[in-house]
Chain A
Amino acid sequence: MTELRSLLPRDTLLWILVVQAAVLLPYALTLPWWVFACWIGVTYWRLQVYLGKWELPGNFVKFVLILGCTAGLILTFKRWYALEPLVTLLAVAFTLKNVELATRRDAFFIVSLAFFVAATHLLFEQGIPQAVYALGCIVLATAALLAMNSPASAAAPRRTLKRAGKMLLQAVPLMLILFIVLPRLGPMWSVPQTGGEASTGLSDSMEPGAFGKLSKSARPAFRVTFADGMAPPAPPERYWRALVFSHFDGRKWTQGHRVDPLLGGKVYWKSRREDIDRSGNARHYQVILEPTRQTWLPALAQPESDTRGVGEKPENLLAYIRPVTKRMAYEVVSWPGSAGIAAGAGLSEVEREINLQLPSRGNERARALAESWRKDGMDAHEVVQAALGEYYQSFVYTLNPPVLGRDSVDGFLFESRAGFCEHFAGSFVYLMRAAGIPARVVTGYLGGEWIEQQNYMIVHDFDAHAWAEVWLPGEGWTRVDPTAAVAPERVLDGLQNALPEEFRAEDFGLIEFSHIGWLNALRIQWDMLNYRWYRSVVSFDADQQEGLLTRLLGEVSGRRIALALGSVFGIALVVLAAWLHLINRGKPAPRPERLYRRFCQRLARAGLPREKGESPRDYALRICRVAPHWGGMVNSITAAYEKAAYFDDSTAEQQLARLLKTFWPASRASVQEATS
């Protein structure tokens, strides 16, 4: 409208700057330093203007700023189709707009951008703290808008925040409904992924004897819920398979050269595997996996999944169609009790060759030992038992084994005899292959902390484990965990209890103090909260949505959704409108006034409305003239009303009420009858 009116009120400026600072804060470490320097400089300038000391910069300064920021952007980013340049661009927009922040429109523009920037932070991490922070930013930005438009509020920050919070609270019911009901369309075009989140978990190769390979982080790797009422597997059965290593180069185990290193060979994306053995009890469960930036998905033995993008690999593994860059949930059905490949089906030549592969030289002593077993005429079972016997007799389980030399298998088996799962699994498979038994290394996780209250299991990074699988004729692939022969408590009780001393030496966070009751309870509570958050909010996808809607509405049809949506929306709005109406309604009229009004309404219905500006007495007189048979009643009511209204006479008021109860003037017809 006019100049003056569109100018930004003075106090509002501080709000705008605070909102900017709040939404940029999470990026303090990730944004280029010059953006921050620039923002702080410009903000300082603007504050000096606010204090009346300086003037807003002229065109030359603006031009230099724009030039500088453009140059900075070009120099900083090589790739443009990514999130970081986007966020930086928004931050730069803030900065440049601050220079000429003078009108309400500028301020509104900045606050709108702030809404956006606050949300982009969630692209990098969707945890509870991040969500709460983003919500805080939104409350703050709403409060800034409020301060811009409400002179009573601008200078009273606490009140403004409260009012903004209140308005947002009123919006919550609508948010919930929209969240549950609005369809999830899925990505409409491919978007740049974030590179910020650290990957966790397993490595895609295994090199026993190299230094410090075992992950000892206490971060959750994934969480599992089992289908309703199903008990979790017993501790020794909690083998979560993720990767299979079948190629050994003398030191390092990898997935093999003959398979696609990324996907690990043929994957059944759409069709069901036909050779899977579906005997025994099926286990239905959901896994919520933390980002790994890999394609493997941990699962119990013999898994199958219907989740979109999840495929099954011939090694009885699950894989995702692309690297897992953010927390994802998938449904699995496993038949862990079955033998894997259907009984009777043999191992194909190719597979046999792959799983017997050994480097042509090296680790000669181990080779000789296996050779000796074969010469003794032992069958596969006996060879396995002999090898496990060796471990049991003279090996030590430790997280800090010595570094091994070139022939790491020999070094481990015959010299150090101390190591952890990787050493045991690697050397065991080596022995088996040398003895002519197809074998492979499996890595994944062993264990899981069962949270009784919420019926789910957390598997931590430090549960990472490696074991072996051997092909036994007639039985198929059979799991053998050589670590169990040395440290059965690792299998039964987890790493923590197997090696309490070494475990504590590392940085484990709160889990280290799990012997302190309340602290442990706190840790579990926090994880539970996170878990519920991930399960109900973060991983709420189209399938879950359909399930929930079916439960709520009986069936999912457009009409029903529209009906439910419309009615809940309508009710919410009506309630709010009624509330707003109530708070700005004036004092109700005094009782005599209300009673008299009722009297007038009844007469109006009988065809004798009160004229505008007609006094009660005149009205009564007129009625006496027109309809004399009501005269007495009308006169006494009018008299009682005058007494009650003008002399505050409570008995008259009661009388008025009493009289009114008996006064029911008849229809117009009877009036005419009476008057004619």
Chain B
Amino acid sequence: MASRSIAGNVRESSSDGLRGWIKARVKAWLGKRLPPAHRVTLDHSRLFVFPTRAGLGFLVILLGLWLLGTNYENNVILGLTFLLLGLFVVVPLHTFSNLSGVTVALRGTQPAFAGEHAVANLRIERRGKQPRERIGLYWPGEVPVEVDLLEKGSTEFQLALPVLERGLVSAPRVCIESSFPLGIFRCWSHLDLDAKFLVYPRPLPAGPLPVGVASGEGKEKSTIAGMDDFAGLKNFQPGHPLKQVAWKQYARGRELYSKEFESYRDERLWLDWDYLPGRDVETRLSLLCDWALQAHRQQLAFGLRIPNKLIEPDKGRAHLNKILEALARFPVRGARDPLGQGGAA
């Protein structure tokens, strides 16, 4: 199944022109340098260290001190300045060492509805006994989660990513960063954990459930026989329960009919693609999704019928998930359209 990148999904603005080209190149380079994997251990080939804005401020202070020491020919001040400059050289090594040897692994992702937050379960662990402090992890543009590895060598946490579009969405790279110990240097890396989120359609208000709506277009019936209310006669076909054969009519010399019963207390229903004509694919999916949720809430058994996929009616959480997954995995527009009617509005 075609998965879609989150690019263009989250806030990634214009990707035209030179900037777009550079971005693409950087992405390509990162992809080569930091290939995707569910489990990534950070080392010198993946980590980058740069001074932060505070670090530049620190340099300004050093410049001031140096001017003070030079203008007053004050060797002790110059000495302190050089000491702090030495610190400025030493600190990035500590910053680097705080992240180096840290492993981030993807434990799994939780599906979400479009427009909500999809959650990735991650695990972070360290090599060796050195404590790791203040590691921030975030999706680009999102709120960081801060993690410490002090006594415990590993910890699990969740990262939530807002997802806007339905489908199997590839998560962007996870940013991991730390400006430990002094905040004047920042060590960072972008990890492609190869995380994919299953994103269900955004439920749109679809009105009452299509209970009792028979489509009668020669396809399988959308209503499954109950036993209570007589609904009519129907040509007998092999497989129909013998109990329902209309023996009376048969005795009168008519053909073999089977009695059709429909029960309005019958809790099984079909959610059918064809009930929603005249809308585009995504809307249809959204409406089906809403129905499915309604049905689940009302504890009805229901089935799904969409192009190329049929799920027998059933009940329960697992079934709902199955249905929602089917909706989520419905091919996106632009990908090969199985119906040849993509975007029909």
A and B physically associate:
yes
Q: A152-B133, A167-B90 are in contact. Are A119 and B68 (CB under 8 A)?
A: yes
Interface residues of B in 41-68 (CB under 8 A from A): 54, 57-58, 61, 64-65, 67-68
Measured between beta carbons, the chain B residues less than 8 angstroms from A551 are none
Q: Complex formed: what's the CA distance from A522 to B29 in Å?
A: 67
A63 within 8 A of B: no
Task: Name A174's contact: one of B58, B75, B86, B131 (CB within 8 Å).
Answer: B86
Task: Name A122's contact: one of B70, B76, B130 (CB within 8 Å).
Answer: B76
* Contact of B144 with A149 in the complex, beta carbons under 8 Å: no
User: Which one of A108-116, A216-224, A261-269, A408-416 is at the B interface?
Assistant: A108-116
Task: Name B83's contact: one of A138, A187, A537, A584 (CB within 8 Å).
Answer: A138
* Contact of B57 with A175 in the complex, beta carbons under 8 Å: no
* Contact of A171 with B76 in the complex, beta carbons under 8 Å: no
* Contact of A585 with B127 in the complex, beta carbons under 8 Å: yes
Band of interface residues on A:
35 or more
Mark contacts of A562-599 with chain B using CB atoms, 8 A cut-off: 1 yes-contact digit, 0 otherwise.
00000001000100110011011111000000000000
B26 within 8 A of A: no
Which chain B residue shows the least CB distance to A130? B76
B85 within 8 A of A: yes
Interface residues of A in 172-223 (CB under 8 A from B): 172-175, 178-179, 182, 184-189, 191
Measured between beta carbons, the chain B residues less than 8 angstroms from A299 are none
CB-defined A-B contacts under 8 Å, sample of 21: A1-B143, A1-B144, A119-B65, A122-B80, A123-B68, A145-B184, A146-B181, A149-B134, A149-B183, A152-B148, A167-B87, A167-B90, A170-B86, A174-B82, A179-B79, A182-B82, A184-B78, A537-B75, A541-B73, A585-B127, A586-B127
Q: Complex formed: what's the CA distance from A105 to B76 in Å?
A: 29
* Contact of A583 with B82 in the complex, beta carbons under 8 Å: no
* Contact of A171 with B83 in the complex, beta carbons under 8 Å: yes
Q: Complex formed: what's the CA distance from A444 to B148 in Å?
A: 67
Q: A1-B144, A5-B146, A584-B101 are in contact. Are A112 and B58 (CB under 8 A)?
A: yes
B227 within 8 A of A: no
* Contact of B70 with A170 in the complex, beta carbons under 8 Å: no
Measured between beta carbons, the chain B residues less than 8 angstroms from A541 are 73
Interface residues of B in 128-159 (CB under 8 A from A): 128, 130-131, 133-134, 136, 143-144, 146, 148, 150
A360 within 8 A of B: no
* Contact of B82 with A179 in the complex, beta carbons under 8 Å: yes
* Contact of B78 with A584 in the complex, beta carbons under 8 Å: no
Measured between beta carbons, the chain B residues less than 8 angstroms from A537 are 75-76, 79
* Contact of B127 with A584 in the complex, beta carbons under 8 Å: yes
Measured between beta carbons, the chain A residues less than 8 angstroms from B74 are 122-123, 126
Task: Name A189's contact: one of B71, B85, B89 (CB within 8 Å).
Answer: B71
Q: Complex formed: what's the CA distance from A20 to B64 in Å?
A: 19
Q: Complex formed: what's the CA distance from A145 to B114 in Å?
A: 42
* Contact of A178 with B85 in the complex, beta carbons under 8 Å: yes
14 additional A-B residue pairs with CB within 8 Å, beyond A112-B58, A119-B80: A5-B144, A108-B54, A112-B61, A115-B84, A116-B64, A149-B133, A150-B181, A167-B87, A167-B181, A175-B82, A178-B86, A182-B82, A537-B75, A583-B97
Which chain B residue shows the least CB distance to A189? B71
B179 within 8 A of A: yes
Instruction: Please provide the 10 A-B residue pairs with the shortest distance between their CB atoms, ordered closest to farther.
Output: A171-B86, A174-B86, A586-B127, A178-B82, A580-B97, A175-B82, A175-B83, A171-B87, A145-B182, A584-B130
Q: How far is the CB of B229 from chain A (nearest CB, A)?
A: 60
A residues in contact (CB < 8 Å) with B: 1-2, 5, 104-105, 108-109, 112, 115-116, 118-120, 122-123, 126, 130-131, 134-135, 138, 142, 145-146, 148-153, 163, 167-168, 170-175, 178-179, 182, 184-189, 191, 537-541, 569, 573, 576-577, 580-581, 583-587
B residues in contact (CB < 8 Å) with A: 54, 57-58, 61, 64-65, 67-87, 89-91, 93-94, 96-97, 100-101, 126-128, 130-131, 133-134, 136, 143-144, 146, 148, 150, 179-184
Q: Complex formed: what's the CA distance from A577 to B73 in Å?
A: 34
Q: Complex formed: what's the CA distance from A148 to B134 in Å?
A: 10
Task: Name A152's contact: one of B78, B94, B136, B150 (CB within 8 Å).
Answer: B150
Task: Name B133's contact: one of A135, A150, A189 (CB within 8 Å).
Answer: A150
Q: A152-B150, A191-B72 are in contact. Are A172 and B80 (CB under 8 A)?
A: no
Which chain A residue shows the least CB distance to B103? A586
Which chain B residue shows the least CB distance to A328? B73
Which chain B residue shows the least CB distance to A108? B54
* Contact of B75 with A577 in the complex, beta carbons under 8 Å: no
Majority secondary structure, A binding face = helix
* Contact of A538 with B182 in the complex, beta carbons under 8 Å: no
Q: Complex formed: what's the CA distance from A573 to B70 in Å?
A: 27
Q: Complex formed: what's the CA distance from A538 to B130 in Å?
A: 40
Q: A576-B93, A584-B97 are in contact. Are A116 and B65 (CB under 8 A)?
A: yes
Which chain B residue shows the least CB distance to A131? B76
Q: How far is the CB of A301 from chain B (nearest CB, A)?
A: 30
Q: How far is the CB of B97 from chain A (nearest CB, A)?
A: 4
Q: How far is the CB of A218 from chain B (nearest CB, A)?
A: 24
Q: Complex formed: what's the CA distance from A120 to B65 in Å?
A: 9
Measured between beta carbons, the chain B residues less than 8 angstroms from A583 are 97, 128, 130
Which chain B residue shows the least CB distance to A178? B82
* Contact of A142 with B144 in the complex, beta carbons under 8 Å: no
Which chain A residue shows the least CB distance to B41? A586
Q: A120-B68, A167-B94, A186-B70 are in contact. Are A173 and B75 (CB under 8 A)?
A: no
Q: A167-B91, A171-B90, A583-B128 are in contact. Are A186 and B73 (CB under 8 A)?
A: yes
* Contact of A172 with B86 in the complex, beta carbons under 8 Å: yes
Which chain B residue shows the least CB distance to A163? B181
Most buried by B among A178, A187, A569: A178
Q: How far is the CB of A205 from chain B (nearest CB, A)?
A: 31
Measured between beta carbons, the chain B residues less than 8 angstroms from A170 are 86, 90
Measured between beta carbons, the chain B residues less than 8 angstroms from A576 are 90, 93
Q: How far is the CB of A586 from chain B (nearest CB, A)?
A: 4
Measured between beta carbons, the chain B residues less than 8 angstroms from A175 are 79, 82-83, 85-86
Which chain B residue shows the least CB distance to A146? B181
Measured between beta carbons, the chain A residues less than 8 angstroms from B133 are 149-153
Measured between beta carbons, the chain B residues less than 8 angstroms from A581 are 97, 100
Which chain B residue shows the least CB distance to A183? B70
Q: How far is the CB of B176 from chain A (nearest CB, A)?
A: 14
Q: Complex formed: what's the CA distance from A187 to B76 in Å?
A: 15
Measured between beta carbons, the chain A residues less than 8 angstroms from B76 are 122, 126, 130-131, 134, 537-538
Which chain A residue shows the least CB distance to B133? A150
Q: Complex formed: what's the CA distance from A153 to B127 in Å?
A: 21
Q: How far is the CB of B87 from chain A (nearest CB, A)?
A: 4
Q: Complex formed: what's the CA distance from A178 to B130 in Å?
A: 31
Q: Complex formed: what's the CA distance from A174 to B83 in Å?
A: 7
Q: Complex formed: what's the CA distance from A186 to B128 in Å?
A: 49
* Contact of A187 with B57 in the complex, beta carbons under 8 Å: no
Q: Complex formed: what's the CA distance from A586 to B102 in Å?
A: 10
Measured between beta carbons, the chain A residues less than 8 angstroms from B136 are 1, 5
Measured between beta carbons, the chain B residues less than 8 angstroms from A1 are 136, 143-144
Q: Complex formed: what's the CA distance from A187 to B66 in Å?
A: 11
Q: How far is the CB of B115 from chain A (nearest CB, A)?
A: 21
Measured between beta carbons, the chain B residues less than 8 angstroms from A2 are 143-144
Which chain A residue shows the least CB distance to B131? A152
Q: Complex formed: what's the CA distance from A178 to B88 in Å?
A: 13
Q: Complex formed: what's the CA distance from A149 to B177 in Å?
A: 13
Measured between beta carbons, the chain B residues less than 8 angstroms from A172 are 83, 86
Task: Name B183's contact: one of A148, A182, A539 (CB within 8 Å).
Answer: A148
